[in-house]
């Protein structure tokens, strides 16, 4: 961790240094990783292997036919053609799943199903299409085969001791298939990072609340953040709604530090509530606040910190602090920032070294978009027929996010995009 940000404007509204999104991605890199645990294969989809997985045996383990036909000695087919077929005596048949009883000697062939084990003596399989029964017990072969043709070698899918699955990449469906083929039925994976999610603000009430007083809003952020945490491979824990009371928030956060791998706080929306959240986080102990204020729109009042687990909770040497992410109070800004910054942090803590690819599409902007240099802008868009249309609306509106198909990013160095520019739209799924 680089040194914590210092007060940039003592007495000012923003106590801590504002950073760019790029600086945050490069510089805020908590070292904490979740420990490894063992999970059965059928529950390992998208889990992150903690170590390379090695093939214990060669795969498929035996030379295997890839076609229906006849196991032969390739040399017996050299020079054959439609006009000058070769003749081989059929001395047996291979049964699926069984050790071949027959063997192939010069001048003979054995009936071979796709996937069957190659009999001893054979070094190739000639496809049934290039054979015909000449007389009972004898076939004619009209095309030559080379040694190895029509056959998968015993270690062609994997050699014994070969790495079949890399660490750090979420397991994909086909990876599970490869592990099953190798007889690996449980995997050492990083534990899912426990991400405790707090909502703060005297105005925030539970989604179950049917009748609101004017001034009250239901907690929209927690359930959406929990979904993003799950998508990032984390285990979301709902910390609950904390009123605008610094002592109450500090107590909740200290308790959560002991049981979490990451903490996310959607802070109150007013500047006073946001500053109180920062003050509380700054009291949680070193290394402390890394930035308060991110050059992103929407999402400026973002706080990034790393906090010690506290006395008696440090545990093993090498224990690192817990990342704490303070998000803006309004749900839309909070979700934008968590997608851009938070999900990668959760993946990192969970041992994921390569983020899975996200859906995206190229589209032409249908109007000019202005942006301030030095600030990253996230613009929600709909996409239709190759055209991206911005969904405008106040950052307080969730409906802008639900109406959008995806978003475009105007990077820090740009002053905007002209209408007609081809842009990358990251698509929601």
- 322 φ/ψ angles, rounded to the nearest 5 degrees: -100, 125
Q: Closest CB to a copy of itself among 44 and 50?
A: 44
Q: Closest CB to a copy of itself among 313 and 399?
A: 399
Give the x/- contact pattern for a copy of itself in 130-169, rule: CB under 8 A.
----------------------x---xxx-----xx----
Q: Which of 93, 308, 414, 427 binds a copy of itself (CB under 8 A)?
A: 427
- Interaction between residue 410 and a copy of itself (CB under 8 A): no
Q: Closest CB to a copy of itself among 119 and 144?
A: 119
> What is the smallest separation between the CB atom of 226 and a copy of itself, expressed in angstroms?
7
- Interaction between residue 178 and a copy of itself (CB under 8 A): yes
* Burial bucket for residue 286 (CB in 10 Å: 0-12, 13-18, 19+): exposed
- Interaction between residue 293 and a copy of itself (CB under 8 A): no
Q: Which of 75, 146, 394, 419 binds a copy of itself (CB under 8 A)?
A: 394
Q: Closest CB to a copy of itself among 249 and 257?
A: 249
Q: Using CA atoms, how far apart are residues 373 and 6, in angstroms rounded to an integer?
A: 24
> What is the smallest separation between the CB atom of 165 and a copy of itself, expressed in angstroms?
7
Q: Closest CB to a copy of itself among 96 and 247?
A: 96
Total residues contacting a copy of itself by CB under 8 A comes to 103
Q: Which two three-digit tokens encode residue 154?
A: 């015993």
Q: Which two three-digit tokens encode residue 241?
A: 């709604």
The full length of the chain comes to 429
Q: Using CA atoms, how far apart are residues 217 and 234, in angstroms rounded to an integer?
A: 27
Write down the residue that tokens 């007060």 correspond to. 7
Q: Closest CB to a copy of itself among 7 and 172?
A: 172
Q: Which two three-digit tokens encode residue 330?
A: 């309004």
Nearest to 13 by CA among 233, 216, 270: 270
Q: Closest CB to a copy of itself among 35 and 356?
A: 356
Q: Which of 271, 283, 319, 411 binds a copy of itself (CB under 8 A)?
A: 271
CB contact set of 161 (below 8 Å; sequence gap of 6+)? 54, 55
Give the x/- contact pattern for a copy of itself in 331-370, rule: CB under 8 A.
x---x--------------------xxxxxxx--------
> What is the smallest separation between the CB atom of 361 and a copy of itself, expressed in angstroms?
7
Torsion of CA 209, 210, 213, 215, to 10 degrees: 60
Determine the 3-state secondary structure of 339 from DSSP: helix
Nearest to 201 by CA among 212, 211, 215: 215
Strands 296-297 and 376-384: parallel
DSSP-derived letter for residue 94 is P
204-223: which residues touch a copy of itself (CB under 8 A)?
204-205, 207-210, 212-223
DSSP-derived letter for residue 35 is P
Q: Which of 144, 299, 329, 390 binds a copy of itself (CB under 8 A)?
A: 329
> What is the smallest separation between the CB atom of 80 and a copy of itself, expressed in angstroms?
23
Q: Closest CB to a copy of itself among 8 and 45?
A: 45
Distances (CA, A) of 118 to 71, 104, 148, 228: 7, 9, 11, 50
Q: Which of 131, 269, 277, 371 binds a copy of itself (CB under 8 A)?
A: 269
């Amino acid at each position: 961790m680089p040194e914590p940000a210092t007060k940039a404007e003592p007495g000012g509204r923003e106590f801590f240094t504002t950073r760019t999104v790029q600086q945050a991605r490069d510089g805020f890199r908590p070292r904490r990783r979740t420990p490894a645990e063992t999970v059965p294969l059928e529950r390992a989809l998208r889990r992150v292997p903690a170590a390379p997985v090695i093939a214990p045996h060669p795969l498929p383990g035996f030379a295997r036919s890839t076609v229906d036909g006849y196991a032969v000695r390739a040399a017996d087919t050299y020079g054959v053609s439609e006009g000058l077929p070769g003749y081989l005596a059929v001395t047996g048949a291979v049964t699926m799943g069984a050790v071949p009883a027959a063997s192939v000697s010069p001048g003979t062939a054995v009936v071979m199903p796709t996937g069957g084990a190659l009999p001893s003596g054979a070094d190739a399989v000639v496809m049934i299409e290039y054979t015909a029964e000449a007389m009972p017990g004898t076939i004619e072969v009209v095309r030559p085969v080379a040694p190895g043709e029509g056959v998968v070698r015993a270690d062609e899918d994997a050699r014994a001791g070969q790495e079949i699955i890399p660490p750090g990449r979420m397991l994909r469906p086909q990876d599970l298939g490869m592990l099953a083929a190798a007889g690996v039925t449980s995997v050492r994976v990083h534990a899912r990072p426990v991400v405790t999610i707090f909502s703060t603000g005297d105005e925030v009430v539970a989604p179950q609340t049917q009748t609101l007083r004017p001034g009250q809003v239901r907690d929209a952020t927690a359930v959406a953040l929990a979904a993003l945490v799950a998508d990032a491979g984390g285990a979301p824990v709902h910390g609950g709604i904390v009123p605008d009371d610094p002592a109450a928030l500090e107590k909740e956060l200290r308790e959560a530090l002991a049981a979490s791998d990451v903490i996310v706080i959607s802070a109150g929306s007013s500047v006073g509530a946001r500053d109180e959240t920062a003050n509380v986080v700054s009291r949680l102990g070193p290394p402390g606040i890394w930035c308060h204020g991110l050059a992103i729109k929407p999402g400026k009042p973002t706080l990034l910190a790393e906090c010690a687990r506290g006395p008696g909770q440090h545990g093993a040497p090498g224990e690192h602090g817990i990342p704490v992410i303070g998000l803006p109070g309004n749900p839309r800004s909070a979700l934008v920032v968590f997608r851009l910054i938070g999900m990668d942090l959760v993946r990192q803590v969970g041992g994921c070294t390569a983020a899975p690819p996200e859906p995206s599409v190229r589209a032409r902007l249908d109007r000019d978009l202005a942006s301030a240099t030095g600030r990253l802008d996230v613009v929600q868009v709909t996409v239709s027929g190759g055209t991206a249309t911005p969904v405008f609306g106040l950052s307080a509106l969730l409906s802008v996010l639900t109406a959008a198909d995806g978003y475009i990013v105007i990077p820090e160095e740009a002053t905007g995009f002209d209408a007609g520019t081809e842009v990358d739209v990251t698509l929601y799924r």
